[in-house]
Amino acid sequence: MSEQGLRITDQRKTLAKLFAEAEGYLTAKDVYDEMGRSYSGLSFDTVYRNLRVLHELGVLEQFVFEDGIKFKVHCQEAHHHHHLICLQCEKTYPLVFCPMDTGCKVPDHFQVVKHKFEVFGYCQDCRTEQQT
Ligand SMILES: [Zn+2]
Ligand SMILES: [Zn+2]
Ligand SMILES: [Zn+2]
């Protein structure tokens, strides 16, 4: 399976560029549609696998919205962080706080592997808009 001779590293470079140019989020479908224009024969599975790898590498961050999973470029924040997400414009702001560090009581019999914590609200721009 050579994916039309396109190397994995080239695909990931293209992906990284796509996200760098995108404003906000891209879904796997968006990426697939976009990359399909340049690379024929690319499978959705391959696109999805690449997204997951880039997520694991910390290049992308993954967000689970009600209408599906979306990806965006990783925040400037290098350390473990969570996000404030604007319900209006969907912009995200890093939140350097982790509820797991502040005495979150997990029963002993449960081994924690990962966690999610997201805070939704309105950013300053959207709040100003609402008031006028
Ligand atoms: Zn982030
Ligand atoms: Zn907003
Ligand atoms: Zn955390």
| Percent above pLDDT 70 for the chain | 93
Residues 6+ apart with CB under 8 A from 91: 24, 85, 123
**Domain extent at residue 115:** 82-131
Based on the domain organization, do 56 and 105 belong to the same domain?
Answer: no
User: Which domain CATH number covers 90?
Assistant: 3.30.1490.190
Give residue 50 CA to ligand 2 midpoint distance, Å.
29
Q: Give the ligand whose atoms come closest to the C-alpha of residue 130.
A: 2
Based on the domain organization, do 54 and 37 belong to the same domain?
Answer: yes
Amino acid residing at 1: M
Which of 38, 55, 73 terminates a domain? The answer is: 73
Please tell me the predicted confidence (pLDDT) of residue 2: 46
Based on the domain organization, do 63 and 98 belong to the same domain?
Answer: no
Based on the domain organization, do 67 and 89 belong to the same domain?
Answer: no
Which of 28, 54, 73 terminates a domain? The answer is: 73
* pTM score: 0.78
pLDDT single digits (tens) 75-91: 989 889 999 999 998 89
Give residue 86 CA to ligand 2 midpoint distance, Å.
5
